[in-house]
Amino acid sequence: MIDIRDYKYSVSAAGRVNLIGEHVDYCGGRVMPCALSLRNTVYVRPNGEDVLRIRWTDLEGEAVLRLDRLPAYKDLKHAKYHAGCAALWREAGHRLVGCDMLMDCTVPFGSGLSSSAAIEVSTLAALALVAGERIDPVEIALLARRAEEEYAGVHCGIMDQYAAANGRAGHAMLLDCKTLACEYIPVALGDCVLVIANCNKPHSLVESKYNERRGEVEEALAILKKKEPISCLAELPPKKLRGYGSLLPPILFRRALHVCTECERVDLAARAMRKGDMETFGVLLNASHASLRDYYEVTGTELDSLAHAAQAHPACLGSRMTGAGFGGCTVSLVKKGEEEAFKAYVQERYQRETGYTPTFYPAELSDGIVVQTL
């Protein structure tokens, strides 16, 4: 029997929903994620041994990781994240202490709501805590991103781990991924609410397709750099990019066009949010989805069906896929009081079109890392 009172601390980190700014974090762009109340919680206690002993509330068995062999665990399905976090924590010059961890995750796996970032960030915060060290959410986000890259093989940007660690209840983070300057914007939606919907298509190959897109935009940047004094694609206004239509192979041009136009939409969306202009915010959500569908090609049949169903409902001001794509979730802006009718309509139409049943989650915006002594 698992009893959480046997542990010393609980440390949790948030899943995230990105409102806008998709596939631009690794291009030096700005993003607008919010931390969710869906979270990964680590119950932790030092064990006086040179091992990490990891258990899960929803999995059988345990993983025992020797602290002197951490890089050897890269192929473990679940515990590779913990091995990566611990190895990088120590490599960064911190004290690594053997401990028992119990993982309890309410972020649905494969949903595009960043369960892995929540796991990595909460694990690192737990390691800091048992070592008696200060929890620095920005350093933890950076180490967590490296764990994702080096131990899970996803060449991701910083958005998810930053949001998991630094989120603030009721706020979005307008995060500049080039400088890590972050401005917290109150999410004031007037007479609207956010509704998150999971398309529930079991997806595969997300990592390889994600890495492929990243390679494409890097190629586009290398070509454009010969003409423009830019260090990242986010620095190039769409108008300038359009002038280079003949310089880039068509696929690379479309990829870059998504990135440059999405960066512009983020700035407009931040302005609309500050003014409480939900109509404009909704229009930008729809435009973001269309760009991810047509130029970046990361949506797919199910996410398109789900977003288009949402966009067709009269109480919906805008809807788009959120996260890496290729499956996962949409986020929609819906008139308050109309949520149930909206969900019923979307569910019926999406089911009819795809055969899958969506799951809806309330978007409660929460803090990033939260620590409790038990």
Query: Which residues are at the interface with ligand GLA (CB under 6 A)?
Result: 22-23, 25-26, 114, 156-157, 159-160, 323-324
Q: Rounded to a whole number, what is the distance in angstroms from the first to the last CA of the chain?
A: 18
Q: How far is CA 299 from CA 36, 86, 144, 234, in A?
A: 22, 34, 26, 21
In b/e form, how buried is each residue of 196-206, taking b as 16+ CB within 10 angstroms?
bbbbbbebeeb
Q: For residue 341, what are the contacts with CB-CB under 8 A and spacing of at least 6?
A: 313, 315
Nearer to ligand GLA, 285 or 324 (CB): 324
Q: Tell me the closest approach of the beta carbon of residue 153 to ligand GLA, in angstroms.
A: 12
Q: How many Cβ atoms from other residues are within 10 Å of residue 372's Cβ?
A: 10
Nearer to ligand GLA, 52 or 234 (CB): 234
Of 281, 266, 128, which Cα lies nearest the Cα of 193? Answer: 281
Q: Tell me the closest approach of the beta carbon of residue 13 to ligand GLA, in angstroms.
A: 14
Nearer to ligand GLA, 321 or 365 (CB): 321
User: Hey, what are 315's tokens?
Assistant: 């109480």
State yes or no: is 267 an active-site residue.
no
* Burial (CB count <10 Å: 0-12, 13-18, 19+), residue 45: middle
**Sole residue written with tokens 């929609």:** 332
Give the DSSP H/E element, type plus range, for residue 262: helix 250-275
Q: Tell me the closest approach of the beta carbon of residue 163 to ligand GLA, in angstroms.
A: 9
Q: How many Cβ atoms from other residues are within 10 Å of residue 339's Cβ?
A: 18
Catalytic residue among 104, 160, 304, 367: 160
Nearer to ligand GLA, 157 or 300 (CB): 157
Nearer to ligand GLA, 185 or 247 (CB): 185
Nearer to ligand GLA, 29 or 97 (CB): 29
Q: Tell me the closest approach of the beta carbon of residue 154 to ligand GLA, in angstroms.
A: 6
Q: Tell me the closest approach of the beta carbon of residue 197 to ligand GLA, in angstroms.
A: 17
Q: Tell me the closest approach of the beta carbon of residue 303 to ligand GLA, in angstroms.
A: 13
CA–CA gap between residue 84 and residue 65 (Å, rounded): 11
Active-site positions read 160
